[in-house]
Amino acid sequence: MDSRERILTTMEHRIPDRVGLFEICINNQVAQHFLGRKSYVWGTGETTKASLEAEMAGKDELKKFINNGYQDAIEVYYKAGLDMIPIYPTAFIHPLNFGLHNVAVADIYDVEIKRDSETSFLLTSKDPDAPGFWCSARYAPKADTFSMYRDNIMEKGEEEFERYIEYLEGKDLTKIPEQLQYGLDGLKNAIDTNNKKYNLALLGFADIEYPCFKTFHRLFLELMFTNEELVHRYMRATTDSMKAMLKIELEMGVDGILAANDWCYRGGPMMSPDYFDKYMAPYLRELVDLTHSYNKFFVRHLDGNTYKILDSLVNKCDIDAYHAIEPPAGMDIVKVKQMYGDKIIVIGNIDCGEILTNWTPEKIEEETKRIIKAVSPGGGHIFGSSNAIHGGVPVENFLAYTNAAKKYGKYPIEL
């Protein structure tokens, strides 16, 4: 089987030739190992900083950066022996307060970007329909992260948040912002390249715009209790915006969709299960239903301890697969498969925090073998890390786990 056939067979709850391999993102060191040159792939602070600088350099530089990033990612995933790749059309573009790039058609894309220092930036709206909006962001080299830390909504509060929602509600969702079109064009080129050369299973991206990586996250959580109507207005406007982008991706020919926003800490969800069912689940279900209407599958990434909302994800939201089932957060992939393996595919879950970062390749091989023996028999499993191949994972440890997964993951599993 090739990679696409392997993943599609698994997603149909049939048994492939071997366990498939997936990562939500990989670090630039791993990319450089496989390409033999410097490359920027999605998921690191270094890449976000470089893409922001490309946008500051002009439209042509940004378009080139986006296309090169997607093309390099596909080649890296193929050479690494991974079977499924996510391509995020918003990965390298920077509307105002872009958080973890969980944005879609209606965000404020017309911005001026200025450098405050070597590692900090100020984004200011130039959109005449959104005057006075701004956001400060910074890169932390040691942690290799890039984050928003202050903006006008955080400073002014609820009325300013409502002004932002009014802007979102007034957007024409049939008009794709120029910058977002660069990302969608890059996705289309990536699909074409993949179909011609690699045949990986390729995921597009769509998720509800829960603002956990945005500066107004705390305000949003407070408003769940104090202003239900305003929260639903935000969710309605952003979900409609995301559906407009999702439809384009599905019609381009992606194999499935990944949703990757975070809602849980290691201790549990950021909100009560009742609030999740009220404010999150109905809107996520709309994205899943649209994906299913194109006969595509929907993968839900969620780290942290998710047990309290997992039944809603499976039975109310109707997801097809769950990634990454984080062991340090108390998540047991064997238990999850026993609970829901007849309905979803489990994806994961070798620990990337301690094991892939600090263990020896020999110990990593044994841990990979242990997980496959426990989870893979009978199918329904795609192997991967417990979140991502972040900047702290050495190349040799990445190779140890992927090589071991291919060695021990052949069906029938006989370990």
> Is the overall model pTM greater than 0.85, yes or no?
yes
Query: In the prediction, which pLDDT does 398 show?
Result: 98
Query: In the prediction, which pLDDT does 278 show?
Result: 97
Mean pLDDT, residues 91-119: 94
* CA gap 363, 360 in Å, rounded: 5
At 329, is the pLDDT very low, low, confident or very high (cuts 50, 70, 90)? very high
Query: In the prediction, which pLDDT does 259 show?
Result: 97
Query: In the prediction, which pLDDT does 141 show?
Result: 92
Mean pLDDT of the chain: 96
Query: In the prediction, which pLDDT does 348 show?
Result: 94
Mean pLDDT, residues 279-293: 98
Structure tokens at 405: 């997964």
Mean pLDDT, residues 358-377: 98
**Portion of the chain with pLDDT greater than 90, in percent:** 97
Answer whether residue 100 shows pLDDT above 90: no
Q: What is the DSSP letter of 312?
A: I
* CA gap 360, 405 in Å, rounded: 16
At 43, is the pLDDT very low, low, confident or very high (cuts 50, 70, 90)? confident
Mean pLDDT, residues 132-137: 97
Do 397 and 364 form a contact (C-beta atoms < 8 A)? Answer: yes
* CA gap 257, 300 in Å, rounded: 9
Do 234 and 167 form a contact (C-beta atoms < 8 A)? Answer: no
Mean pLDDT, residues 331-336: 97
* CA gap 368, 406 in Å, rounded: 10
Going from the N-terminus, what domains does the chain have, and what CATH number goes with each? 3-91+157-408 (3.20.20.210)
Do 346 and 376 form a contact (C-beta atoms < 8 A)? Answer: no
**Portion of the chain with pLDDT greater than 70, in percent:** 100
Q: What is the DSSP string of 211-229?
A: -TTSTTHHHHHHHHHH-HH
Query: In the prediction, which pLDDT does 99 show?
Result: 86
Mean pLDDT, residues 21-49: 93
CB-based contacts of 218, cutoff 8 Å, min separation 6: none
Query: In the prediction, which pLDDT does 143 show?
Result: 87
Pick from 188, 51, 204, 181: which is nearest to 109 by CA? 181
Summarize pLDDT for 148-201 with one digit per residue, the tens: 999 999 999 999 999 999 999 999 999 999 999 999 999 999 999 999 999 999
Answer whether residue 221 shows pLDDT above 90: yes
Query: CA 186, 284, 157 angle in degrees (round to 5)?
Result: 90
